[in-house]
Amino acid sequence: MAIEAPDIRTALPGKIARQVIAKDRRYTSSSYIKEYPFVIARGKGAVVEDVDGNRFLDFMAGIAVNATGHSHPRVVRAVKRQAERFFHMCASDFYYESFARLAERLTRMTPMEGEKSVFFTNSGAEAVETAIKLVRYHTKRPYIIAFLGSFHGRTMGALSLTASKAKQRSFFSSFLPGVHHIPYGYCYRCPYNLTYPKCGVHCAEALETVVCRNLMNPREIGAIFIEPVQGEGGYIVPPREFHAKLKAFAEKNGILYVVDEVQAGMGRTGKFLSVEHFGVEPDVVIMAKGLASGLPLGAVVAKKKYMTWKAGTHGSTFGGNPLACEASLETLALLEEGLTANAARMGKRLIGRIRKMAKEFPLIGDIRGLGLMIGVELVRDRETREPAVKEAHDVVQAAFERGLLILSCGESTVRFCPPLVVNAREVDTAAEIFGAVLRDITGRKG
Ligand SMILES: Cc1ncc(COP(=O)(O)O)c(C=O)c1O
């Protein structure tokens, strides 16, 4: 497959894509969103081809998953080798070498002092469930703090922490008791209408000065569950002190600091974990998405002193499947050999290109991000900051028509989360298409 992209040869969706979509619509759950009519046939690196032979630049990576790009030859080889040997043996009850080796590697790569232990799952939500249970089991405390705007998954425990879009929770109550949501460090839309840094990062202090004065005893809080950089909520990078203050409060009160790195981790932000940008030490790390380059795998890494649960208290039939473990070992090697550094470099290039566009397009309200986790928040008016919801949707659709796959997040943010293998040419092409799309949407001449 040639890797030049974009190359759009048919009306979208093409003839074969339309057939697949018709069958999908007829037989699959109505809850699926389906952002645009893209029907993948194959992919290589950051380029994907649809079933009608159209080629696209993939700057969303199946929602921030394909860390090593599509079908990286080393990951493919590792998975094929494992498939020849065995597919499954349930590591909850038995042993295989890659399971232990991957656990060892993850304990080495996670930024906590001392000994650590790992539990493997099949997805992000399942890893969040695991962490919730672990915190309850270990601390015996009833409360959990989570954040408005956060996304932690769709299973009932994870959903109890999720507070991103009301529609994701509607008619699914009751949720886990004892979960309390507080505002995130979202400076562009400060929940307290303050301005950073004059605000003194009040949003972080409010946990102590408001929540723990009026609502709960901090000694009854088991954990703070936090995305170090908020993902689905809008690719929001909080101020450094936000984490520092929350972590200090947690430490003072014996509260575990649980970081959900499902979207921001695995090299995406230019460091293995996004929490490393903030200089705080987590107690528990939750991972999934990019961890195995697209094979289903999640992991919870905790300080050993907290992973105290007894044999049989938690387990999984498929978690840490051997194919996924092999894919993950190869993924982690590739991250360390250069992909994480590439994410930092390419992220800088992409955000630089987008920042230059801001002058031309008043629609751009805020540009933020770390590495290849970049959000561009669109507004109708820079003064009022009215979210440009329809425009964000239109940008994503128009980019698809021009052969660039991107997604939105938050209310009106366009996100860029390509595979970490993207090169400078692909970044520049994506930026050019984004500019052309903004021109289309705003009716400006190129
Ligand atoms: C930060 C975060 N946590 C958890 C999840 C849930 O992961 P999964 O969809 O694999 O269950 C997501 C998914 O988008 C996420 O972004």
CA 442 / ligand 1 centre spacing (Å): 33
Q: Confirm or reject: Cβ of 263 under 6 Å from ligand 1.
A: yes
Q: Which of 325, 276, 309 is nearest to 100 (CA)?
A: 325
Task: Tell me what the mean pLDDT of segment 379-406 comes to.
Answer: 98
Q: Confirm or reject: Cβ of 262 under 6 Å from ligand 1.
A: yes
Residues 6+ apart with CB under 8 A from 287: 106, 127, 261, 262, 265, 266, 298, 299, 300, 301
pLDDT score recorded for residue 233 = 98
Q: Confirm or reject: Cβ of 203 under 6 Å from ligand 1.
A: no
- Pocket mutation for ligand 1, best pick of 60, 262, 316, 409 (most atoms within 8 Å of C-beta): 262
List the residue whose alpha carbon is closest to atom 13 of ligand 1.
153
Distance CA 249, CA 5 (A): 49
pLDDT higher than 60, residue 1: no
Q: Confirm or reject: Cβ of 151 under 6 Å from ligand 1.
A: yes
Looking at the DSSP bridge assignments, the partners of residue 416 are 374
pLDDT score recorded for residue 2 = 46
Q: Confirm or reject: Cβ of 128 under 6 Å from ligand 1.
A: yes
pLDDT score recorded for residue 443 = 85
Instruction: Note the pLDDT tens digit of each residue in 363-376.
Output: 999 999 999 999 99
Residues 187 and 171 sit within 8 Å (Cβ to Cβ):
no
The encoded tokens of residue 149 equal: 């705007």
Q: Confirm or reject: Cβ of 153 under 6 Å from ligand 1.
A: yes
- pTM of structure: 0.98
Which ligand 1 atom is the nearest neighbour of the CA of 125?
A: 11
Task: Tell me what the mean pLDDT of segment 324-349 comes to.
Answer: 98
CB atoms within 10 A of CB 426: 22
pLDDT score recorded for residue 211 = 87
Q: Confirm or reject: Cβ of 236 under 6 Å from ligand 1.
A: no
pLDDT higher than 70, residue 338: yes
Q: Which of 43, 42, 40, 45 is nearest to 14 (CA)?
A: 40
Q: Confirm or reject: Cβ of 123 under 6 Å from ligand 1.
A: yes
Instruction: Note the pLDDT tens digit of each residue in 68-105.
Output: 999 999 999 999 999 999 999 999 999 999 999 999 99
The burial class, CB within 10 Å (0-12 / 13-18 / 19+), for 86 is exposed
- SS3 of the chain: CCCCCCECCCCCCCHHHHHHHHHHHHHCCCCCCCCCCCCEEEEEECEEEECCCCEEEECCHHHHCCCCCECCHHHHHHHHHHHHHCCCCCCCCCCCHHHHHHHHHHHHHCCCCCCEEEEEECCHHHHHHHHHHHHHHHHCCCEEEEECCCCCCCCHHHHHHCCCCHHHHCCCCCCCCCEEEECCCCHHHCCCCCCCCCCCCHHHHHHHHHHHHHCCCHHHEEEEEECCCECCCCCECCCHHHHHHHHHHHHHCCCEEEEECCCCCCCCCCCCCHHHHCCCCCCEEEECHHHHECECCEEEEEECCCCCCCCCCCCCCCCCCHHHHHHHHHHHHHHHHHHHHHHHHHHHHHHHHHHHHHCCCCCEEEEEEECCEEEEEEECCCCCCCECHHHHHHHHHHHHHCCEECEEECCCEEEECCCCCCCHHHHHHHHHHHHHHHHHHHCCCC
pLDDT higher than 70, residue 445: no
Distance CA 172, CA 407 (A): 26
pLDDT score recorded for residue 3 = 64
pLDDT score recorded for residue 127 = 98
- Assign 210 a pLDDT band (cuts: 50, 70, 90): confident
- Pocket mutation for ligand 1, best pick of 289, 291, 297 (most atoms within 8 Å of C-beta): 289
pLDDT higher than 60, residue 446: no
What's the mean per-residue pLDDT of the chain?
97
Instruction: Note the pLDDT tens digit of each residue in 384-397.
Output: 999 999 999 999 99
pLDDT score recorded for residue 312 = 96
Q: Confirm or reject: Cβ of 49 under 6 Å from ligand 1.
A: no
CA 133 / ligand 1 centre spacing (Å): 17
Domains and CATH numbers, the chain: 15-71+339-442 (3.90.1150.10), 88-320 (3.40.640.10)
